[in-house]
Amino acid sequence: MDETPNAHELFLFLASTAHDMKNSISVLSGTLERLLVDASPRTESAYPQMAHMLYQTKRLNDNLMQLLALYKQVGTPAYPFDVQPLALGHLVDQVVSIERVLLQSRGIQLELDCDPQLIWHLDEDLVVGVLSHAVNNAVHYTCDRVRLAICEQDGWLELRVEDNGPGYPPALLRAGAIATRETAGGVNFLTNSTGLGLYFSSEVAKMHRHRGRHGTLRLENGGRYGGGCFILRLP
């Protein structure tokens, strides 16, 4: 971090502004969720628009969270990274709690496939952030179904978010390959915010280390429904 007093003041200013923006987004998404829960497509003519507003609000929140984490991270691994043991049931529970209203309002089914008792060691806030971001994306690409599947494979935890849409477009798969490759500096932020999300997710993957291995991220088409697959692997 830059040590000049100016940089420190700027940091405090950004932090307090971010705090304020977070409050606003909290209220916005909370209010929308409440309205959606109380309404139904039959009684409320603006229901689809409200659902879309919620989707956009979540995108806004994801981007802000990712920017904040990355802003702090420039140059040094400065995010207060905190690994704890967590039962997968609790992990999935968090993602479902965050996404439930959005999925419902868009008429999308979420399929879960994991052993809730299995314990893994991870930074809960970051991984929940990555998974719910992936589900948000899947909401955009899917037809009517999203699958969250987590299983252990040869000492790795594989977390998959799959959908039954037409699959990721080639440009996105290319962006994914660039954002997630081993050497840093390959990110093309100019394309769109998807680049930010992928870069953030792959940084989160890399932060998770265990006995000389670190996490990875990849995008592909296929999976159970032949649509887009977002695959996070943690050691």
Partner 1 sequence: MNAIATPLLSVTPASIDQVDWADKHYLVVDDFVGVRQLLRESLRSLGAKNIDQASSGGEAMGLLARVRYDVVLCDYNLGDGKNGQQVLEEARVRNLVNPSTVWLMVSAEKSVESVMGAAEHQPDAYLIKPITEGVLLSRLNRVWHRKQVFRLIDQACAEKDYLRAARLCDDQIAVDKVHELDLLRMKARLMERSGQPTRAREVYERVLAQREYQWARAGLAKIRLANGEFEQARQAFQGVIAENRYYIDAYDQLALSYQNMGKLEEACAILERAAKLSPNSVTRQRNLGHLALRLGNMQMAEKAFRKCIAIGEYSIMKTPDAYLGLARVCGQKNDPKEALQLLLLAQREFVHEHADIQLRAKITEGLVYHESGDYRRARKAGDDLDAMLKASAARPDIPTCLELATLLFAVGVKEAPVELLRYVIRNNHDNPLLLDEVQKIFDKARMGEEGLAMIRASKKEAADLMNQGVLLWKTGKLGEAVAWMRDARKAVPNNQRILFNAAQVMVSCLQQQGYDAALSAEAYEILHHVDHLLPGQQRFAQLMEQLAQLQPALEKGGVAAVA
Interaction site with partner 1 (CB under 8 A): 15, 18-19, 22-27, 29-31, 33-34, 61, 65, 68-69, 76-85, 87, 89-90, 92-94, 96-98, 100-101, 103-104, 107-117, 119, 121, 125, 210-211
Identify which of residues 19 and 140 has a Cβ nearer to partner 1 in the complex.
19
Closest approach of partner 1 to the CB of residue 218, in Å: 24
- How far is residue 167 CA from its own chain's centroid? 18
In sequence order, the 6+-apart residues with CB closer than 8 A to the CB of 115 are 88, 150, 151
| Cα–Cα distance measured from residue 59 to residue 188, given in angstroms and rounded to the nearest whole number | 19
3-state secondary structure (DSSP) of residue 220: strand
Closest approach of partner 1 to the CB of residue 109, in Å: 6
Identify which of residues 49 and 84 has a Cβ nearer to partner 1 in the complex.
84
Q: Are strands 209-210 and 213-214 parallel, antiparallel or unpaired?
A: antiparallel
Nearest to 194 by CA among 177, 162, 172: 172
| Cα–Cα distance measured from residue 10 to residue 102, given in angstroms and rounded to the nearest whole number | 35
Closest approach of partner 1 to the CB of residue 38, in Å: 10
Closest approach of partner 1 to the CB of residue 45, in Å: 21
Closest approach of partner 1 to the CB of residue 17, in Å: 10
Identify which of residues 30 and 186 has a Cβ nearer to partner 1 in the complex.
30
Closest approach of partner 1 to the CB of residue 76, in Å: 7
Identify which of residues 68 and 177 has a Cβ nearer to partner 1 in the complex.
68
Report CA-CA distances (Å) from 149 to 62, 113, 124, 167, 212: 21, 4, 17, 17, 25
Identify which of residues 159 and 219 has a Cβ nearer to partner 1 in the complex.
159
User: Vertex 19, ends 198 and 14: CA angle to 5°?
Assistant: 75
Identify which of residues 90 and 140 has a Cβ nearer to partner 1 in the complex.
90
